[in-house]
Structure 1
Amino acid sequence: MPLMSDGDEKVDGFFRLGTSSGRFNMFDRFASLGVKWTGAVNGRPEDEFGLAVVTASTSPDYRRSSAAQRTESVAEITYRAPLSPWLTVQPNLQYVHNPGADPTIRDAWVVGLRFAIGSRLID
């Protein structure tokens, strides 16, 4: 959903809710919220900076059969930069609270680096 647009700069946001059967799934509900800022860096109009948070709730059936916490939550920060018409790099950093909703696992930091090769390899 567009939140702001000013020349090369644009801010988009999203909000999602989901549900599933708690009889068969560990998580029966989730919610996520995020924003993406395109053109935040001068001279790099295609670069994107993003922030997002998500929380997932364990189903009552799953909690009855295990010692699971009620939720798992993740916060993420990412930056996507096209390096060429066909190559993009995207580092990200995530903080996971209650990984797997397992009370025996400590909160975790996750570092990622994604490279994408696009279809514009040959112009």
Structure 2
Amino acid sequence: MASSIPCLSGLTKPFPKRKVGRSLQVRAQSFGDEGSSANMVDANLSVLRERIEEVKMKERLKRCCKSEDGWYYQSGYDHKLKRDAKFSESLELVGLVSMSVGLSFFSGTLCLCLVSLLVHLNQ
């Protein structure tokens, strides 16, 4: 009873061959040519680099001005200006309250006068 081993090479698929495509062309360019480059991507890249440098500079300045508590204090803080602002807000609130109370009294008086006039006319 001799049995033969089936051939496994017919069951497996061969790996597909990779297609060799064109290689990408890489263009070298110096750092100084980026601002005057005709290529829009290179020009935008230089603008982006400048903006990144500006943001880094602003962050450095903020870190230098930061106090130990972690709060940013403005050097030009004026207590008198803040007091005047609070005083004007208080005056606005008093004005609104007095206007609403005055309007209530005025509308009540007007309603009483109209009712009184109607009662006198019906007699």
Using structure 1 for the length normalisation, give the TM-score.
0.17
The structure, 1 or 2, with the larger RCO (C-alpha pairs under 8 Å, 6+ apart) is: 1
